[in-house]
Amino acid sequence: TSLDDYAPVNEVYARYFSEATPAREALQVAALPRGARVEIACVAVR
């Protein structure tokens, strides 16, 4: 919910996506459900 979390999220993201990273976006919002600090949405293609 805060862009202050962007750098720590990038560190974790880089552990799992080291090559050809998927497209993504970052948004700051007032609140997320259930007190969550980060929401990640993804699209998969089979």
- Residue 33: its pLDDT value, please? 94
Domain contains 24: yes
Query: How is 20-34 classified by DSSP, letter by letter?
Result: SPPP------S--GG
- Residue 30: its pLDDT value, please? 92
Domains of the chain: total? 1
Q: Is the pLDDT of residue 45 over 80?
A: yes
What are the backbone dihedrals phi and psi of residue 13, each rounded to the nearest 5 degrees, phi first? -55, -45
Domain contains 31: yes
**pTM: predicted TM-score of the whole model, two decimal places:** 0.61
Q: Is the pLDDT of residue 34 over 90?
A: yes
- Residue 31: its pLDDT value, please? 92
The domain containing residue 10 runs over which residues?
3-35
Domain contains 26: yes
Domain contains 25: yes
More reliable by pLDDT, 24 or 31: 31
Question: Is residue 14 within 8 Å of 42, Cβ to Cβ?
Answer: no
